[in-house]
Structure 1
Amino acid sequence: MKIVHVCCVAPPEVGGMGLVADKEVAYLRSLSWDAWLIAPETQLDKNQQPEYVVRLPAWRIGNVARLFGLQSLLADADVVHLHYPFYFTAGLIARWRRQNKIKRLVITLHMDATDKGWRRWAADAHRKFLQNRALGSADLLLVSTLDYAQNSSYAVWINDSRLHELPFGVESTDFSPGPSVKTEFDIPAGARVVGTVSSMDRAHPFKGIDILIRALVDLPADVHALLVGEGDRRADYQALAKDLGLSERVHFFGRLEHEKLVRALRSMDVFAFPSTSGAEAFGLAMLEAMSCGVPVAASDLPGVRRVADQAGLLIPPGDQTALSRALNTLLEDENLRAELGQTARAKALLYDWREHAQKLAGLYQKICE
């Protein structure tokens, strides 16, 4: 059975949607499925991308794209799996399904996209006039949590028999508890560390990096921040830290190779996840930190709270003062931190990519019967 995933991004590009699509295809292939991932062309080094990623020339504005030559690559697929939102391309694929030009269509509903200016207007217009027609063409709809689906524009589908909850996963063998190596990240060995892993670009303003930096002002001087991620707003965040007099306490690292990322997570005493809007639906980076036994201070957002529950403290989205208090509570109470860290690890073990892929394969088989 041939499975073709279509996503607006793919490795080495960063982003949760691309990571999910990549993991699903990789694990399906490990289960002997003929699985592929199609994404728009990128200027990044394609030598870093897996062999199963196929790049197509595209007319592209951000993550909105028209892929040229897509239909011919989908014609012989038993299942086309679309990662949504992927504006313009989603409408084409849905139309081809209605015309029976593709055999079966699965759509993963990742999140409600948010933006500013004309892009926000365009996203709102798409949701209002086109989204339900596109989703109605699917044979199967997947969400990472029902909690998020119930509190999003996808709520109208919550009682549809085609909608299934399929949480994402984590590689818990790699992301596991281990020794802290703070000095590797230019942090004094005796410092206490709050950290996060996040995109730092204009497409992800909802990540709350500025809120985390500002929250550090209210924390003791021995508390440092380890911020892992890359993007066109990183310089803005560095300037903010400098303006607040925090340059010596805020440590920026770009995209890290896998093993170093694990070491960075292990070096955090608390993982902060201060996202501000419903564009954040799950929290893959947070789950990786939890798998390393790190307690979290996370925004009380649909979907995110399901993952973070009992693994840390929840805070109102966008509340800098509440974030400072939550971080301070965790940093000052070593016993609480250890207890929540153990719970975080135990909960992360419930999320497994291989099990996710096995369930996904079962759903593919069911709709093809």
Structure 2
Amino acid sequence: MRIGILSYRSNPYCGGQGVYVRHLAAALADLGHRVEVISGPPQTFSINHQIPVTRLEGLDLYNPQNPFRTPAPAELCDPVNFLEWAGVSTMGFPEPLTFGIRAFLHLKDRLHQFDILHDNQCLSYGTLMLSRRIPFVTTIHHPITVDRGLELDAAPNAWKRFKVMRWYSFIGMQLRVARRLPHIITVSHASKADIQSEFSLPAERFHVVENGIDTERFKPMPHIEREPGRIIVTNSADTPLKGLAYLLIAVRKLTDEGRRIRLIVIGTPKKNGAIESLIRTLGLTNVSFTGHIDDEAFVEHYARAAIAVVPSLYEGFGLPAGEAMACGVPVVSTTGGALAEVVGDAGILVPPADADALAAAIARLLDHPGLARDLGKIGYRRVHERFTWHQAAQRTLDVYRKVIRADRQTR
């Protein structure tokens, strides 16, 4: 099969959407199919030598190495570039819209080279036009309206709320496009139910294909000893959706109880942001951030951890939970979104936004090392039985075949 995967902004080494594209494309290629990724920034996107990546050049105004740069006049002569610059200049996020336009312009004369196109949550008017010319499916990982709602709730004043609404103004386009697409892949039954409700979509349009976990990368390292009291969390620190604030409050509670614990956050907090402020307010000295680390260091952190915590208020799937389980680390997780589906009986589940429940669950595992070991083993088995990229690719291929058959019947 000849497959084109569209990804408007996806770092292939961090962030759920980029990881999804990278591993799904590789697994499809391993099954003998021809895959091409059509990608927006970052321009470092690569998978392996078998899979070509076509990069659609844009202004990349959110590049952390040169954020909000001033484009050269020649760049703004391009109408799509001008649209992108205007959107960013007015505090919006125009990249789904502009990537979709660029993808349509690039692919409209190449469609004979593909059997199917697979959009990774761009949901742009440009990709909608492509869907009318070729078998087409889109993946929606979770309803982005949830992110918007949580950020609005966390906004301290009217100006901040206006900025949140402006940033998420692309949601209107995505809702309109999603309602016109007959085939949608989503990564959990919880996401399916929530997207169906938030987007007002019929259930028959959905195909649930659970994500995989990179079990070659995330695996136990028996030669590294786990450190008692060492807790790990993988987190976009200043995103309210990820719930780190509740874990920090739980750490304060456990510390006040006299427990010797250390929290390692895989990530970087926003300078002078809400998380740094909360750490100062709580007087925590046993919390450290790793910043950007390479793959080997990441897995070594899991190997040293006694417990992995996933405090998210909502996850469409929950890759951090699966990655910890693949490393044999016992998990404490909220039930936000699909996390209960992923963790199952391999961890302790608590309600979202409940610092006391997080603290109690962590204390239980610290006090019962036998239970922690058992949960680590159950989690490892669960990932290998249900959540490999090979399985995800096979199920995705089943969806592709259904979409192609349906497309032939309607054209």
Taking structure 2 as the reference length, what is the TM-score of the superposition?
A: 0.76
Amino acid at match of 1:361: L
1:269-325 C-alpha deviation (Å, 9 max, x unpaired): 11111112x4x2111111010111112111112211111121111112111111111
Please tell me whether the aligned partners of residues 230 and 262 of structure 2 are also in contact (alpha carbons under 8 angstroms): yes
Please tell me whether the aligned partners of residues 142 and 194 of structure 2 are also in contact (alpha carbons under 8 angstroms): no
User: Counterpart in 2 of 1:186?
Assistant: none
Give the direction of change, closer, same or farther, for the CA distance of 1:119–1:139 in structure 2 (3 Å limit): farther
Amino acid at match of 1:73: H
What is the distance in 2 between the residues matched to 1:11 and 1:97?
25
SS of alignment partner, residue 46 of structure 1: coil
User: Residues 92-131 of structure 1 correspond to what in structure 2 (within 5 A)?
Assistant: 92-98=126-132, 100=133, 103-113=134-144, 114-115=147-148, 116=151, 117-118=161-162, 120-121=164-165, 130-131=173-174
Give the direction of change, closer, same or farther, for the CA distance of 1:39–1:234 in structure 2 (3 Å limit): farther
Task: Tell me which of 366, 378, 382 is aligned to 1:347.
Answer: 382
Matched, 1:171 2:219: no
What is the distance in 1 between the residues matched to 2:228 and 2:277?
23
User: Counterpart in 1 of 2:234?
Assistant: 197
User: Counterpart in 2 of 1:222?
Assistant: 260
How far did residue 47 of structure 1 move? Answer: 7.5
User: Counterpart in 1 of 2:10?
Assistant: 10
The percent of aligned pairs where both chains have the same amino acid is 24
How far did residue 123 of structure 1 move? Answer: 7.9
User: Counterpart in 2 of 1:309?
Assistant: 344
User: Residues 252-291 of structure 1 correspond to what in structure 2 (within 5 A)?
Assistant: 252-276=289-313, 278=314, 280-291=315-326
Task: Tell me which of 373, 392, 396 is aligned to 1:360.
Answer: 396
User: Counterpart in 2 of 1:73?
Assistant: 106
SS of alignment partner, residue 124 of structure 2: helix
In our comparison, the structure showing a higher alpha carbon Rg is 2
SS of alignment partner, residue 69 of structure 1: helix
What is the distance in 2 between the residues matched to 1:37 and 1:263?
31
Please tell me whether the aligned partners of residues 178 and 199 of structure 2 are also in contact (alpha carbons under 8 angstroms): no
SS of alignment partner, residue 323 of structure 2: helix
Amino acid at match of 2:135: R
How far did residue 156 of structure 1 move? Answer: 4.1
Give the direction of change, closer, same or farther, for the CA distance of 1:171–1:311 in structure 2 (3 Å limit): same
What is the distance in 2 between the residues matched to 1:259 and 1:9?
25
Amino acid at match of 1:15: G
Amino acid at match of 1:284: L
What is the distance in 2 between the residues matched to 1:316 and 1:180?
34
Give the direction of change, closer, same or farther, for the CA distance of 1:164–1:301 in structure 2 (3 Å limit): same
Give the direction of change, closer, same or farther, for the CA distance of 1:206–1:132 in structure 2 (3 Å limit): closer
Please tell me whether the aligned partners of residues 269 and 276 of structure 2 are also in contact (alpha carbons under 8 angstroms): no
Please tell me whether the aligned partners of residues 12 and 21 of structure 2 are also in contact (alpha carbons under 8 angstroms): no
Taking structure 1 as the reference length, what is the TM-score of the superposition?
A: 0.83
What is the distance in 2 between the residues matched to 1:209 and 1:30?
37
Give the direction of change, closer, same or farther, for the CA distance of 1:360–1:318 in structure 2 (3 Å limit): same
SS of alignment partner, residue 6 of structure 1: strand
Q: Which has the higher helix share?
A: 2
Give the direction of change, closer, same or farther, for the CA distance of 1:171–1:228 in structure 2 (3 Å limit): same
What is the distance in 2 between the residues matched to 1:341 and 1:259?
20
Give the direction of change, closer, same or farther, for the CA distance of 1:34–1:139 in structure 2 (3 Å limit): farther
Please tell me whether the aligned partners of residues 14 and 199 of structure 1 are also in contact (alpha carbons under 8 angstroms): no
Q: Which has the higher strand share?
A: 1
What is the distance in 1 between the residues matched to 2:297 and 2:351?
31
Q: Please tell me the root mean square deviation across aligned C-alpha atoms, in Å.
A: 2.8
User: Residues 55-94 of structure 1 correspond to what in structure 2 (within 5 A)?
Assistant: 55-58=55-58, 59=84, 61=88, 64-65=94-95, 66-67=98-99, 69-75=102-108, 76=111, 77-84=114-121, 86=122, 90-94=124-128
How far did residue 121 of structure 1 move? Answer: 3.3
What is the distance in 1 between the residues matched to 2:45 and 2:19?
17
Amino acid at match of 1:111: H
Gaps of 5+ in 2: 59-83, 152-160, 406-411
Please tell me whether the aligned partners of residues 8 and 63 of structure 1 are also in contact (alpha carbons under 8 angstroms): no
User: Counterpart in 2 of 1:38?
Assistant: 38
Gaps of 5+ in 1: 183-188
Aligned length: 348
